[in-house]
Amino acid sequence: MKREALFWERYDSNTVKCLLCPHNCLLKEEQSGICNSRKNENGTLVSLNYGDVVVKKVDMLGKRLLFYGNHEDPVLSLGSWGCNLCCDWCYNWEIARLKPLHLVKKYSPEEIRNEVLYLRKTKGVQTIVFTYNEPLVWVEFIIDICEILKSGIDIVLNTNLHVNEKPLLRIIPFISALNIDLKAFSSFKYALGPKGHFDAVLKNLKLCVEHGKYVEVTFPLIKGFNDDADEFEDLVAFLCEISSEFPLQIRKGYPTYRHFESSPSEDELQYFRAIASKYLKHVELVFEEQ
């Protein structure tokens, strides 16, 4: 499903500039952005994945947030396709980096609202989690859902938070909690690995905290990429400056997609947990793939 995107401007007679994320893609006619989900069609930036639902299921809150609410509370998890980062170790690369149109089911915001209200009555669902792919490249659809939802439904994002400030400020009033996937603690590594802008992610993390949102950080420990202990200590020291209560998940990385290094051992994971625990009170290891 298509609709005109939010957050863009005309750059010249046949080029548009996407303003959703720090890539600020300049797109000529028929070009798509790095995320694959936004395209210049006849001089208008179009959201290609509006209403495209690839994954929709009820699961438990504890699969998304380890330190928030009741782990066994049922949630409606929704995902589409597209992502504005390019991680070699992505667990969900089939929907993040490809366009799995054979898996897509079309929904309107009203249909999602009606389903979650039905699930609230029948299964006690009180939360929607936008996850699997990067939810912020689905921002138009998420905003439209949030604007018609009744109160009492929490909205959670599992996100890389690689977004410009204006779109973040537009969506943040609707959000109750975020799980932020922080890939490394280095501008060089962000540019080299996921091909993103590290400073923007840190700025946005602080902004979410300043707006009173519940924030957890997930750190995927990837051998050969972000397994430098000194750099990791800088990361947890940064989080501690915000609060020693800051929740942190250290997630075991696995060989997948274009990453073929072995997984970190349990001893290595425990070592990183010990480093984090010197600074933070809430640190957990996660061994399962997302």
198 and 56 in a single domain? The answer is: yes
Closest by CA position to 68, among listed 178, 165, 152, 186: 178
CA-nearest of 201, 70, 56, 185 to 129 is: 56
101 pLDDT band (50/70/90 cuts)?
A: confident
Residues 249 and 283: their CA atoms lie apart, in Å, by 6
pLDDT band at 189 (very low <50, low <70, confident <90, very high): very high
The reply to whether 106 and 250 lie within a common domain is yes
23 and 122 share a domain? no
152 class by beta-carbon count within 10 Å (0-12 exposed, 13-18 middle, 19+ buried): exposed
Say which range, 36-45, 148-157, 177-186, 255-264, has the weakest mean pLDDT: 255-264
Residue from 32, 54, 68 nearest 134 by CA = 54
Cα distances (angstroms) measured from residue 7 to each of 59, 167, 168, 197, 265: 32, 7, 11, 18, 43
Q: Is the pLDDT of residue 44 over 80?
A: yes
Q: Report helix, strand or coil for 203.
A: helix
pLDDT tier at 289, thresholds 50, 70, 90: low
**Which pLDDT value is given to residue 265?**
94
Q: And the tokens for 69? A: 């609410």
Same domain, 104 and 41: no
Tell whether 83 and 171 lie within a shared domain: yes
- 3-class secondary structure per residue, 186-198: CHHHHHHCCCCCH
Q: How confident is the model at residue 258 (pLDDT cuts 50, 70, 90)?
A: confident
Domain that includes residue 19, residue range: 3-47
CATH number of the domain residue 90 falls in: 3.20.20.70
Same domain? 43 vs 64: no
Domain total of the chain: 2
Contacts of 208 (CB under 8 A, 6+ apart): 161, 168, 172, 175, 178, 180, 215
The rounded percent of the chain whose pLDDT value lies above 90 is 86
The candidate with the shortest Cα–Cα distance to 133, out of 173, 85, 89, is 85
Q: What pLDDT, on a 0 to 100 scale, did the predictor assign at position 290?
A: 55
- What confidence tens digit (pLDDT) does each residue in 123-140 have? 999 999 999 999 999 999
Same domain for 126 and 36: no
Paired sense of beta strands 74-79 and 105-106, if any: unpaired
DSSP state string for 52-111: EESEEEEEEGGGT-SSSS-TT-EEEEEE-S--SS--TT-TTHHHHTS--GGG-EE--HHH
Quote the DSSP letter at residue 212: T
Does 242 lie in the same domain as 115? yes
pTM given for the model:
0.95
48-70 confidence digits (pLDDT tens): 999 999 999 999 999 889 889 88
Q: Quote the tokens at residue 188.
A: 């060089």
Q: What angle do CA 196, 2, 171 make, to 5 degrees?
A: 50
Give the model's confidence band at 77: pLDDT under 50 very low, under 70 low, under 90 confident, else very high.
very high
**Is 120 found in the same domain as 9?**
no
**pLDDT for 91:** 85
Same domain? For 43 and 129 the reply is no
Q: Within this chain, do residues 114 and 74 fall inside the same structural domain, yes or no?
A: yes
- Give yes or no: residues 40 and 158 share one domain: no
